[in-house]
Amino acid sequence: MTRPKTALGPWHKRVLYGSTALVWLSGALWLVDKHFRQVQTDFGLQAPPTQALWLDIHGAAAMLILGLLGSLLPEHVRLGWKRRDQRPSGGLSLAVLVFLALTGWGLYYVGDQGLRAKVSLAHWAAGLGLPAFIALHVRLAGRSRPKTSRPRPLDRLPDKIVK
Ligand code: HEM
Ligand code: HEM
């Protein structure tokens, strides 16, 4: 049984889902620390020490996810684009990832504090939605996949018919 070139191998999928979970969870825990776990000290409100740790993990997971995105472009996205039914959900997942990469870059390099706060909000708001976009895409792909992958009789004909 041959797999379509757009289909992802089990390890590819595991690493993709794992790093998406890690990037999401580390970002979400950072938000929890920042908004709900600040502690009052002599120097005013302070973030718990874990907040820096979440960001360290987040940065590493983000790099992993960008590498994986690169691995999806040559076959999955390029060949998958021909499947019109997967374009909206796949395109949306791709667009959100690119947006996260751009705003993530902004978080490093934007110096103006007012603008940085806006970039931060846009980044994590889109980020919180990322798993939902990917889940929708995977679900739609599963639904539209042919029920059986057994070759049809015509597919079994030899390439050349020797006379
Ligand atoms: C324009 C962008 C994209 C297009 C056109 C596209 C197209 C497709 C197609 C055609 C399938 C069905 C594959 C098959 O059954 O052979 C699929 C499944 C899938 N896509 Fe995409 N995709 C895009 C972006 C993405 C992105 C950005 C991700 C990850 C973040 C992703 C993750 C997946 C996964 C995990 C599956 C399920 C694969 C499987 O079960 O083997 N796709 N996509
Ligand atoms: C492609 C995926 C992603 C990339 C490339 C990315 C990249 C980055 C980068 C570079 C930073 C700055 C780190 C620093 O200041 O040391 C950051 C911060 C952050 N990210 Fe992400 N991220 C991604 C996905 C997500 C997701 C899914 C969430 C979901 C909650 C998220 C939430 C956050 C938060 C809350 C911050 C801290 C914002 C701040 O410092 O004001 N990110 N991200």
Q: What is the pLDDT of residues 77-106, one digit of tens each?
A: 999 999 999 999 999 999 999 999 999 999
The letter for the amino acid at 17 is Y
Res 162 pLDDT > 80 = no
- Contact assessment for residue 69 and residue 62, using Cβ atoms and an 8 Å cutoff: no
Tokens 């690169």 correspond to 70
pLDDT on residue 151: 52
In the chain, which ranges are E strands?
39-41, 44-46
> Domain boundaries in the chain?
10-143
* DSSP 8-state code for residue 85: G
Q: DSSP characters for 133-151?
A: HHHHHHHHHHHHS-S--SP
Relative to the CA of 28, which ligand 2 atom is closest? 30
Ligand nearest to the CA of 2: 1
Residue 81's SS3 state is coil
| CA nearest ligand 2 atom 25, residue | 127
pLDDT on residue 2: 72
Distance from C-alpha of 119 to C-alpha of 125, rounded to nearest angstrom = 10
Ligand nearest to the CA of 60: 2
Give the distance (Å) from ligand 2 centre to CA of residue 27. Answer: 6
Each residue's pLDDT tens digit, 123-142 = 999 999 999 999 999 999 98
Residue 140 or residue 156, greater confidence: 140
From 26, 123, 133, the mutation candidate for ligand 2 (largest count of ligand atoms within 8 A of CB) is 123
Whole-prediction pTM: 0.89
